[in-house]
Amino acid sequence: MEQENYKVRAEELRKQIEYHSNRYYNMDDPEITDYEYDMMMQELKKLEKEHPELVIPDSPTQKVGGTAKRTAGVLVRHNVPMLSLQDVFSKEEVYEFVHEMQEQLENPEFVVEYKIDGLSMALRYEEGELKLAVTRGDGIIQGEDVTANARVISDVKKKLKQPLPYIEIRGEVYMKNADFEKVNETQEMLGKKTFANPRNCAAGTLRQLDSRITKERKLSMFVFNVQEVRGHEFKTHVEGYEYLKKQGVPVIEDYRVCHTADEVWDAICKIGENRGNLSYDIDGAVVKLNSIADRQKLGATSKVPRWAIAYKYPPEEKETKLLDIELSVGRTGRITPTAIFEPIRLCGTSVSRATLHNQDFINTLDVGIGDTIVVYKSGEIIPKIKEVRKEKRPADWQRFQIPDTCPVCGAKTVREKDTADIRCVSPDCPAQLERHIINFVGRDAMDIKGFGAVYVTELVRLGYIHDIADIYVLKNHREELIEQGIIGKEKNTDKLLDAIEQSKQNEPFRLLTGFGIQNVGKAAAKAIMRQFKSIDALAKADREQLLEVNDIGEVSAECILDYFASEKNQKILERLREYGLTMELAEDDTVGDLLAGLTIVVTGTLPNLGRKEAQELIEKNGGKAAGSVSKKTSYVLAGENAGSKLTKAEQLGIPVITEEEFLHMIQKDA
């Protein structure tokens, strides 16, 4: 390869790595596997090593982690950098590291332990009390304050039994596979996007603004290092672990102290053999020096410590035969194909299913029943189909085609314009009922506390619920429900029935959201109700009137018209009205027009108003409260610690206002 070609390839790799790094660290939505990312990074490192003139200051090889985002809290400066580790991929590289350490140090000890696939977090304790939890962020300067969310993770100790003046510990926040599966089941039932793997789910959950969601999703944490300590001295890494275990702090399991390269490699192999038996994902093994003095002597580069490496296991993949393609129907009618194949063992577990996403994915993969497929599982719980062995396909092979009728109810299916989704549009399709009810009682819609997916499934299965209106006659079956123990004993049953009764007073936008009209989510429902004031007025609206609403386009308008034109839905609406649900805005809820046409983003801590309160005032005065800054933003209402949204507003030249200026804007006599 000529010099110019080396330069072009290096630039190409940097762009790809930056793109995928942003999706992994900052969006929690990767498009490629860890292994594919690692291979790109290795190729770039090799190019830069062989051609030093290609190295530039902002190359991904010179950076640590992602950027620090202000999502769950304010940004916090690191007391101790949270560096990444140097990745190695072969036995030779492991031996090279061990021999290097032995040449520089006298009889070094090594600790080999699991490399958990999660999100790094540091915990700071003062006099034994948890004071701060911070994510890795950029790894060098700052991370995000996630203390409120850390406090609801059961593995995070709020108080240490044997307090020290100060200690900072670093660990990995992760999600157990069983907990991850439950989260994705709930996401699927609600018609929401599922998470690609436990790591991404854990990262998104730790950054949640609502700590209740963090608590519900059951994050876990292992601590793998003492970052800094005052008032005490640990001579070795293992001593630090022993202290933490006495405090009830979970540390990395089954670590092993080694003295030779053979022992280190044997420990790595043992971890690799056992990883399929763990209840969580690991993506490698870490080899680190045990002696703290040796670590301090060697120090670190700008990117990695010199005293540790991470061995990354190669992805495991196997051939198997595709036996069938199963079709399931979600809440919105979307049909999802799932590959059913001869069971194989990957990473120690038996797998026999993998999603095929949609018809476009099937076409690209060029797959049909009877094909020999390659399935892989690279540090993830979810098996994926990599490719088809076309040379092994049967003579009577045909590419699979999702039928044009619903596999559950037989109704005609349609492919949505500009999407890959094929849907059943029949309102009577039974497969959609459970998910429809779960959406109706969920937090974004009627928010009926305690009405979980398990209760919905059972009540639908036993014939108590056939549509959303049936929820409000469950009280008539109180004795039966208690007797059968569907919801629990008397106390639990009455608690849920009371919550259902209280939901009748909800604002009408929640009811509209609960209808589950395609393309009408919570934000659109609020905008619609501001315009029409009542569900009845909306039901009588024509296309032109609907298109006058800012958030409503042609597709959404068509969905709304179809919904209210349905005779079945009209009957449900009549019953809901009869049962006393709130169908129109109260006088106090009527919307003014002082902020009509304006989009305002609230960021930071305001002097008097809470963020939710400020957003409600924006909407009550006819404005739109947006969550992110863009060119369409009219103003940014900023308080203390406004962070990245304020920076972006300044870059785009968007006016920034204070709380006082905002309140002046919504005064009628201003």
DSSP code per residue over 329-356: E-TT-BEEEEEEEEEEEETTEEEEEEE-
Across the range 396-421, mean pLDDT stands at: 88
pLDDT tens digits, 59-74: 888 766 555 444 445 7
| Pairwise CA distance, residues 508 & 528, whole Å | 10
| Pairwise CA distance, residues 337 & 361, whole Å | 10
CB 486 within 8 A of CB 457: no
Residue 398 CB-density burial (10 A; 0-12 exposed, 13-18 middle, 19+ buried):
exposed
CB 562 within 8 A of CB 484: no
pLDDT of amino acid 283: 84
CB 114 within 8 A of CB 254: yes
Residue 270 CB-density burial (10 A; 0-12 exposed, 13-18 middle, 19+ buried):
middle
pLDDT of amino acid 212: 83
Contact residues for 192 (Cβ-Cβ < 8 A; gap 6+): none
**Percentage of the chain with pLDDT > 90?**
50
| Degrees to nearest 5, angle at CA 209 with 207 and 212 | 100
Across the range 515-536, mean pLDDT stands at: 88
pLDDT of amino acid 348: 59
Burial 502-519 (b: 16+ CB within 10 A, else e): ebeebbbbbbbbbbbbbb
Phi (first) and psi of residue 659, to 5 degrees: -60, -40
Q: Is 45 a catalytic residue?
A: no
pLDDT of amino acid 427: 63
| Degrees to nearest 5, angle at CA 303 with 302 and 305 | 95
Pseudo-torsion of CA 289, 292, 297, 299, nearest 10°?
A: 70
- Domains for the chain: give ranges and CATH numbers: 3-62 (1.10.287.610), 75-312 (3.30.470.30), 319-426 (2.40.50.140), 430-505 (1.10.150.20), 508-589 (1.10.150.20), 599-665 (3.40.50.10190)
| Pairwise CA distance, residues 384 & 352, whole Å | 11
Phi (first) and psi of residue 125, to 5 degrees: -115, 135
pLDDT of amino acid 668: 59
Across the range 93-122, mean pLDDT stands at: 96
User: At residue 239, does pLDDT exceed 90?
Assistant: yes
CB 637 within 8 A of CB 662: yes
| Edge-to-edge order in the sheet of strand 166-174 | 129-135, 119-126, 166-174, 220-230
Strand (E) or helix (H) holding 287: strand 282-289
Active-site residue identified among 63, 69, 115, 377 = 115
Q: Identify the residue with better confidence: 67 or 338.
A: 338
List, as residue ranges, the binding site for NAD(+). 34-38, 84-85, 113, 136, 172, 288, 312
Lowest-pLDDT range, 167-176, 244-253, 345-354? 345-354
Q: Is residue 577 left, alpha or beta, with left meaning phi > 0 and alpha meaning psi from -120 to 50?
A: alpha
Q: Identify the residue with better confidence: 46 or 478.
A: 478
Strand (E) or helix (H) holding 644: helix 644-652
| Pairwise CA distance, residues 48 & 490, whole Å | 70
pLDDT of amino acid 190: 66
User: Could you give the 3-state DSSP secondary structure of residue 232?
Assistant: coil
Average pLDDT, the chain: 87
- DSSP annotation of 638 reads E
User: At residue 526, does pLDDT exceed 60?
Assistant: yes
pLDDT of amino acid 69: 46
User: At residue 29, does pLDDT exceed 70?
Assistant: no
Contact residues for 661 (Cβ-Cβ < 8 A; gap 6+): none
The pLDDT-based confidence of 95 (bands split at 50, 70, 90) is: very high
Contact residues for 129 (Cβ-Cβ < 8 A; gap 6+): 158, 159, 163
Across the range 384-411, mean pLDDT stands at: 92
| Pairwise CA distance, residues 451 & 435, whole Å | 13
Cα-Cα end-to-end distance for the chain:
70
CB 157 within 8 A of CB 130: yes
| Pairwise CA distance, residues 377 & 198, whole Å | 13
Lowest-pLDDT range, 48-62, 248-262, 397-411, 469-483? 48-62
- Parallel, antiparallel, or unpaired: how do β-strands 308-312 and 282-289 relate? antiparallel
CB 645 within 8 A of CB 629: yes
CB 142 within 8 A of CB 68: yes
